[in-house]
Amino acid sequence: MFRHSRFFWRLFLSYFVLACAAAAGLGLFAADRLHATRFESIQRALYEESRLVYELIEEDLKAKRTGPMQQTLGRVAAAVGCRFTIVDNEGHVIADTEAEPATMDNHRLRPEIVQAAAQGEGASTRWSHTLREEVLCLAYRAQEPDGTIHFVRLAVPLAQVKKGLRVFDESLLLGVAAVILLSGAACFLLARRQATPIAELSSTARAIAAGDLSRRAFAGGSVEAAALGSAVNAMAEAIAEAKAESAKAREELLAILGSMTEGIIATDGQRRIVLVNPAAAALLDFSAAGIAGKALWEVVRDEQVLQEAEQVAASGQRRTLRCGPIRGRYVAVVISPLAHAGGAPGLLLVAHDTTEAVEYQELRKEFVANVSHELRTPLTFIKGFIETLRDGALSDPVKGPEYLATIEKHVTQLTNLVNDLLELSRLESRAGIPRRHSVKLDELVRKVVDLMQPAAQKKEQSLTVAVSPGLPASSGDPDYLERAIANLLDNAIKYTPRCGAINVSAKTNAASVVIEVTDNGIGIPAHDLPRIFERFYRVDKSRSREMGGTGLGLAIVKHIAQAHGGSVEISSEVGKGSTVRLSLPMG
Binding site for ligand ADP (CB under 6 A): 491-492, 495, 519, 521-524, 532, 538-540, 544, 549-555, 578
Give the C-alpha separation, 200 to 198, whole Å.
5
- Four-point Cα dihedral 525, 527, 529, 532, nearest 10: -100
Beta bridge partners of 329: 326
- What is the smallest separation between the CB atom of 579 and ligand ADP, expressed in angstroms? 9
- In the complex, what is the shortest distance from the CB of residue 490 to ligand ADP, in angstroms, rounded to a whole number? 7
Q: What is the torsional sign of CA 10, 13, 19, 25?
A: negative
Minimum CB distance to ligand ADP, residue 402 (Å): 25
Question: Least distance in Å: CB of 285 to ligand ADP?
Answer: 37
- In the complex with ligand ADP, the residue whose CB is nearer, 187 or 502, is 502
Contact 70, 60 (CB under 8 A): no
Min. distance of Cβ 287 from ligand ADP in angstroms? 44
Q: Cβ closer to ligand ADP: 283 or 522?
A: 522
d(CA 320, CA 324): 13
DSSP 3: P
Minimum distance, C-beta of residue 423 to ligand ADP, in the bound complex (Å):
12
In the complex with ligand ADP, which residue's Cβ is closer, 285 or 528?
528
β-pair type (512-519, 577-585) = antiparallel
Strands 149-157 and 263-267: unpaired
- Residue 32 contacts by C-beta under 8 Å, 6 or more apart in sequence? none
- 3-state secondary structure (DSSP) of residue 328: coil
3-state helix, strand, coil in the chain (%, to 5): 55, 20, 25
List, in sequence order, every residue forming a beta bridge with 81; answer none if it has no partner: none
Selection from 313, 357, 310 nearest residue 332 by Cα:
357
Residue 326 CB, shortest distance to ligand ADP, in Å, is 34
In angstroms, what is the minimal distance from the CB of 485 to ligand ADP? 13
Q: How far is the CB of 514 from ligand ADP (least distance, A)?
A: 17
Distances (CA, A) of 222 to 186, 201, 226, 234: 17, 13, 6, 18
Q: How far apart are CA 520 and CA 497, in angstroms?
A: 9
The H helix count followed by the E strand count for the chain is 14, 17
Give the residue with the Cβ less far from ligand ADP, 183 or 496: 496
Indicate the length of the chain as a whole number.
587
Q: How far is the CB of 382 from ligand ADP (least distance, A)?
A: 19
Distances (CA, A) of 397 to 315, 394, 402, 405: 80, 8, 9, 13
CA distance 308 to 305: 5
For ligand ADP, the closer of residues 548 and 587 by Cβ is 548
Output the smallest distance, CB 558 to ligand ADP, in A.
9
Calculate the alpha carbon distances from 454 to 368, 493, 545 in Å: 35, 11, 21
Residue closer to ligand ADP by CB (options 86, 424) is 424
| CA distance linking residue 43 with residue 48, whole number of Å | 8
Taking the least distance from each CB to ligand ADP, the nearer of 50 and 518 is 518
Helix, coil or strand: residue 124: strand
Q: How far apart are CA 127 and CA 577, in angstroms?
A: 155
